[in-house]
Amino acid sequence: MGCGSCSSGACGSGSIPAGCGNNGHCATGGCNKLGVFDWLAGIQLPSQTEEDRIVEVQFKNTRKEYYRFESDVTLSAGDNVVVESSHGKDVGTVTLSGELVKTQMARKGLKPNYKNLLSVERLATQEDIDLWKKSRDKEQETMVKARQITAKLKLDMKVSDVEYQGDGTKAIFYYTAEGRVDFRELIKSLASNFKVRVEMKQIGSRQEAGRVGGIGSCGRELCCSTWLTDFRSVSTTAARYQQLAINPIKLAGQCGKLKCCLNYELDSYMDALKDFPKGDVQLKTKKGLALLQKTDIFKRVMWFNFREEPSVFHPVSLDRVKEIIELNKKGSFPENLIEHETRMTKREPDYENVVGQDDLKRFDKDNKRRKNKRKSGQGNKNQQPNGNQAQKAKGPQATGQGEQKKKPNRNKNRNRNKKKNNPNNGNPSKGNPNAN
């Protein structure tokens, strides 16, 4: 689901998103990026102060800012408003109002200073919305041309997004670059080509992925475009602690960096690993030296194998591993890794495999039948003349008891003999003088 705040802007007509029965103001907040559910909506505050007259306004993609409004104006989530800007006026959508605005500002490290904030002038009219949409329709074409200009100037940067102001007098160019870029000539070229005031903003690759949006490998929307705002550094150490294979292709996200979700469960793994012995664990038994191969952290099981049997893995509980380590320190060696040898038994499914959905080769049977039918059909075609000869040789036994044997046509044989004995065969005019 999307609305006018997404990058495409083509999902709905006007300011109402397509396919949404609540006109974009549902409880899930799925229409807006970085949406917040206002669980205090509809609850009237006992007294309204200046700090309560602050609203959160969202512009294109993930850009949000806070504005103050006068007491004679009533604003709610979903209203299109005209706000002040550093140069001109801008149009945005109110996403949050009331008490939760203070919480959001404190979360971002902003102080709710009423006097220092820009103000909301009025509700947007149809003319303001039409001008706003007309300006946004030029953003895709402007971004393509801006990339061509940067290529001509040979600048090591990438223009990832363009955002026009509501009145069309200013454009913000978002770009990514590995180092510092001297874009003084670029600003002159952009201003002369597009006839607008140009503002350049450098963003990181993760911010770029959040603005563009997309679907992650988990099948859900990207965290950076739905709720994640603080991007912490992620290293391959987090993957090692979680026993993950160091595969850059699988560990990298849409931005090309390591996935932010590698840090989500890292604390749980770190707490669980405190009980495990550190380093390369080796257990000495009378059978031989056992080497650690892998660890199941949450099941608290460690897998060992002997040098004489490298393909046989033995699961040992964490308590048993600690017990053997203590015995080795004292100079004693146990008989086996496991006190009571247990075999891994295959668990049968609790349901009946009625249609064979568990068999990986269930589709091969039909293919074999089709191939056999094709082969048998071709064989019958090739064997038809031999079959006729066999029927002629066998006579009534091959055709059945009720069918009589066919008599040979003797008249045909007589005609053939006459043609052979006739010397004028092939030229009837010689044998018959009156033929002409």
Measured CA to CA, the distance from residue 293 to residue 38 in angstroms comes to 50
In 10 A of CB 421, how many CB atoms? 8
CA distance 429 to 188: 107
| pLDDT band of 363, cuts 50, 70, 90 | low
Q: Are residues 80 and 102 in the same domain?
A: yes
- pLDDT for residue 144 is more than 80: yes
Q: Do 205 and 294 lie in a common domain?
A: no
- Write the DSSP symbol of residue 347: P
Rounded mean pLDDT, 149-168: 93
Q: Is residue 405 part of a domain?
A: no
Based on the domain organization, do 205 and 242 belong to the same domain?
Answer: no
Q: What is the pLDDT of residue 287?
A: 87
Distance CA(69)–CA(114), nearest Å, equals: 9
Q: Give the C-alpha separation, 363 to 368, whole Å.
A: 9
pLDDT at 19: 45
| Structural domain count of the chain | 4
Q: ∠ CA 270-273-279 to the nearest 5 degrees? A: 120
25 and 119, same domain (yes or no): yes
Answer yes or no: do 146 and 119 share one domain.
no
Residue type for 158, please? K
Query: Last residue of some domain: 176, 209, 242?
Result: 209
Residue 391 has pLDDT above 50, yes or no: no
With CA atoms as reference, report the closest residue to 44 among 121, 98, 102.
98
- Considering the domain architecture, whether residues 113 and 145 belong to the same structural domain is answered as no
96 and 120 inside one domain = yes
Neighbouring residues of 190: CB distance < 8 A, sequence distance ≥ 6: 146, 149, 171, 173, 198
Structure tokens, 60: 């294109």
Q: Judge if 260 and 291 occupy the same domain.
A: no
Sequence-distant (≥ 6) Cβ neighbours of residue 41 within 8 angstroms: 76, 77, 98
pLDDT, average across residues 191-198: 93
- The predicted pLDDT at position 102 comes to 86
Which range has the top average pLDDT, 11-25, 179-193, 385-399, 410-424? Answer: 179-193
State mean pLDDT over 49-71: 85
Which segment, 34-38, 248-252, 367-371, 398-402, is predicted with the most confidence on average?
248-252
User: What amino acid occupies position 221?
Assistant: E
Residue 100: band (very low, low, confident or very high) from pLDDT cuts 50, 70, 90: confident
- CB burial class (10 A; 0-12, 13-18, 19+) of residue 133? middle
- The CATH number that applies at residue 163 is 3.30.300.20
* pLDDT recorded at residue 276: 92
Give me the helices (H) in 2-138, please: 100-107, 126-136
Q: Which domain holds residue 160?
A: 135-209
Domain stops at, among 124, 158, 178 = 124
Q: Looking at the structure, do residues 201 and 318 belong to the same domain, yes or no? A: no
DSSP code string of 156-170: S-EEEEEEE-TTSSE
Mean pLDDT of 117-146: 92
Within-domain flag for 311: yes
Given a contact cutoff of 8 angstroms between Cβ atoms, the answer to whether 54 and 117 are in contact is yes
Q: What are phi and psi of 352, to 5 degrees?
A: -90, 135
* 225 occurs within a structural domain: no
Residue 268: inside a domain: yes
Are 211 and 225 contacting, i.e. CB atoms less than 8 angstroms apart?
Answer: yes
Q: Is residue 192 part of a domain?
A: yes
- Compute the chain's Rg from CA coordinates: 42
Q: Tell which wins on pLDDT, 125 or 424.
A: 125
Q: Among all chains, which residue has been given the structure tokens 């600690």? A: 322
Q: What is the pLDDT of residue 81?
A: 93
Find, among 57, 12, 16, 34, the residue nearest to 213 by Cα.
34
pLDDT at position 436 is 38
User: Has residue 370 been placed in a domain?
Assistant: no
If pLDDT is split at 50, 70 and 90, which confidence band does 112 have?
confident
Q: Quote the strand ranges of 52-169, DSSP E.
A: 54-58, 64-68, 80-84, 89-97, 120-123, 158-164
The mean pLDDT value of the chain amounts to 78
Q: Closest by alpha carbon to 276, among 305, 293, 298, 291?
A: 298
Q: Is the pLDDT of residue 227 over 80?
A: yes
Give a yes or no: residue 360 inside a domain: no
Mean pLDDT of 177-197: 91
pLDDT of residue 66: 92
- Cα separation, 74 vs 70, in Å, equals 9
- Report yes or no on 77 lying in a domain: yes
Span 15-53, pLDDT tens digits: 444 445 444 444 334 455 777 777 777 677 666 676 778
- The whole-number pLDDT of residue 359 equals 67
pLDDT, average across residues 372-376: 68
Same domain? For 96 and 18 the reply is yes
Same-domain check for residues 163 and 51: no
